[in-house]
Amino acid sequence: MQKSRVPLTDERLVQIIGTLLRVGVLLAAGVVLLGGIFYLGQSGSTLPRYQAFRGEPADLRSVSGIIRDLFSFRAAALIQFGILLLIATPIARVLFSLFAFFREGDAIYVLVTLFVSCLLIFSLVGGGI
């Protein structure tokens, strides 16, 4: 028996994309909030020094470092992971749109969305080249 494909209407596509964006932003906000609470529990009693700017440590500037520190239960890594989730949300939207347009057979929209996907990937991976 062959499965019949349910047509993906424009209204349904907009609903799915809206839900994807909402869930992504709420999940990212929840992770950052949890990380902030955890951070205050770990480092809330230390006094800030405003005389010199100190950026994030090198291990929190890469995805692999963030994931590694996440498994070490560092609160700053949890906050950074929430930021990564927030960045990944619109990327997931573009990739879902690419899949939906490909499924519908919209060649022009597939090409445009593929171009946008390539720009996003280039800016994240090799934008400094």
Measure the CA–CA gap between 42 and 74, rounded to whole angstroms: 9
Please provide the size of the chain in residues: 129
- Return the pLDDT at 106: 83
Does residue 6 form part of some domain? no
98 found inside a domain: yes
Give a yes or no: residue 8 inside a domain.
Answer: no
pTM across the whole model:
0.78
**Contact (Cβ atoms closer than 8 angstroms) between residue 8 and residue 100:** yes
Structure tokens at 66: 């963030």
In a domain, 81, yes or no: yes
Give the chain's domain count.
Answer: 1
Residue 49 lies in a domain: no
Show the domain range for 31: 15-39+57-124
33 falls within a domain:
yes
The two tokens of residue 7 are 């047509």
d(CA 128, CA 13): 34
Tens digit of pLDDT for each residue in 56-108? Answer: 788 887 888 888 888 888 888 899 999 999 989 989 999 998 988 888 888 99
pLDDT tops 90 at residue 23 = yes
